[in-house]
Structure 1
Amino acid sequence: MKTLFPPYAHPSPELELDAETWIVRETPGERRSLHQSLGRVDLDWGSRSLADVLADVEAWREDGAEGLFLDRAPAGSGGVGPVALTIRLAARRGLHRVVLNPGVPTHPLYRDLGMRICTFEGPWSAYQSWAGDGVRAGDGHIVHGVPTALLTAARRLMGRRGAGFGLATDASPHLSAAHAGGAGSGDS
């Protein structure tokens, strides 16, 4: 399973470089890692203007990111058109690796866009009882707030549920920016 580190969870500096690890970066600028880099583009559940989204895509192209992490993405059929346009522009700019993160299962039309989809993002407490309706094997799962002692168990559960990529982490996206820099250790 590929490991994807969202912006609020950082890999250990000792984590060996490999093609199976993706780091989502919050803003363009100097890299802190040699791992595969995905630039975060906030879609704000489909309410951001297309011009602002495309400006972000261009900034990540100039930065040299390997791809994009389309965060807070819409999941309903109304968002398919703008997402498809964003993916096409990204491909023209050389950003072929795209991960869509609505954090929930999407409308089936998204499956035709040829990108990876993160169909769960949430706390460990919700993941344990999650039924997984509407997901497919290979989808991404990001599970945060996992007690440190249960990180390995969470990662195993992700595997049993068919996750193709993701992360089980003790970090939380709800930490303040002052604490986020040192928070989180993923089980990879």
Structure 2
Amino acid sequence: MVTLTPDGPQLAAPFYLHPAEHPTAWEFLRQGSLGLAFAVVNVASGPGPEGDPYYTEALRPGIRTPLLGYVNTGYGQRDADAVRRDAATWRERYGVSGVMLDCVSTDAPSTTLELIGALRADGATKVALNPGAPCAPEVVAAADVTCVSECAWSTYAGLAWPDRPAAGPTWHLVHGVPLADITAARDVAARRGAAFVWVTDATLPNPYARLPEAWP
């Protein structure tokens, strides 16, 4: 299993595993035995146009892992109302009240701040962001958590990293990590101040469609 020291980053996963294909992993998620601080769930690049009965069952009340629903912002190209409708669908259809905004633009901080405020006013209990790169400090401060790095281990290991602390909790996603380097990748994330981390040996196009091979 991927393990962390008590003072290191907490595990937080993009959990893009379909319940019908990975029932055991989903049962672990329900019981909280994966030790995740939170997991992002994703039906079909969001809540999907219609309900998925497998997700309805998997996300029934009583799940012990905190959840965020995936919402794609299209790097600022999606209309804010469409983003808000997706967030509302997560709440109303699946009972997931937190959201993770993916593909967040780093070029329009004021627009992102307005969207965070609107989502909170609509009832979002937590708002996470994934620009996949550093973004404006005021945006990081406004979100509950921000993914400031998402890339392959071959890139992540060589990144230059600022010494100054982030304005809020950050999350690092590292894929394509050889199993022998899993601990090293975690340690790099800890040194870079990540509050949350996910490291996996899985690779593109979807490194989050399964648990890491290191998991029991």
TM-score w.r.t. the length of structure 1 is 0.81
Q: Unpaired runs of 5+ in structure 2?
A: 1-8, 48-54
How far the C-alpha of 1:107 sits from its partner, in A, is 2.1
In the other structure, the counterpart of 1:2 is 10
In the other structure, the counterpart of 1:35 is 65
Q: Map of 1:38-53 to 2, 5 A cutoff?
A: 38-53=68-83
1:168 to 199, 209, 216: 199
Per the alignment, in what secondary structure is the counterpart of residue 162 of structure 2? coil
Q: Map of 1:31-180 to 2, 5 A cutoff?
A: 31=58, 34-62=64-92, 63-76=94-107, 78=108, 80-133=109-162, 136-137=165-166, 138-175=169-206
Q: Distance in 2 between matches of 1:134 and 1:110?
A: 19
The root-mean-square deviation of aligned C-alpha atoms, in Å, is 2.9
Q: Distance in 2 between matches of 1:185 and 1:64?
A: 30
In the other structure, the counterpart of 1:24 is 40
Per the alignment, in what secondary structure is the counterpart of residue 105 of structure 2? coil
Q: Distance in 2 between matches of 1:98 and 1:185?
A: 29
How far the C-alpha of 1:69 sits from its partner, in A, is 0.8
Q: Distance in 1 between matches of 2:163 and 2:113?
A: 20
Kindly provide the amino acid, as one letter, of the partner of residue 14 in structure 2: P
How far the C-alpha of 1:151 sits from its partner, in A, is 1.1
Q: Distance in 2 between matches of 1:89 and 1:61?
A: 15
State the identity as a percent: 30
Classify 1:38/1:134 alpha carbon distance in 2 versus 1 (closer, same or farther; 3 Å). Answer: farther
Kindly provide the amino acid, as one letter, of the partner of residue 80 in structure 2: L
Aligned residues: 182
Q: Which structure: larger Rg?
A: 2
Q: Unpaired runs of 5+ in structure 1?
A: none
How far the C-alpha of 1:120 sits from its partner, in A, is 0.3
In the other structure, the counterpart of 1:184 is 212
Per the alignment, in what secondary structure is the counterpart of residue 184 of structure 1? coil
How far the C-alpha of 1:108 sits from its partner, in A, is 2.9
Kindly provide the amino acid, as one letter, of the partner of residue 49 in structure 1: D
| Deviations 1:41-67 (CA, angstroms, capped at 9, x unpaired) | 111111111121111111112122141
How far the C-alpha of 1:20 sits from its partner, in A, is 4.7
TM-score w.r.t. the length of structure 2 is 0.72
Per the alignment, in what secondary structure is the counterpart of residue 129 of structure 1? coil
Q: Distance in 2 between matches of 1:181 and 1:170?
A: 11
Q: Distance in 2 between matches of 1:74 and 1:103?
A: 9
Q: Distance in 1 between matches of 2:188 and 2:141?
A: 27
How far the C-alpha of 1:88 sits from its partner, in A, is 2.0
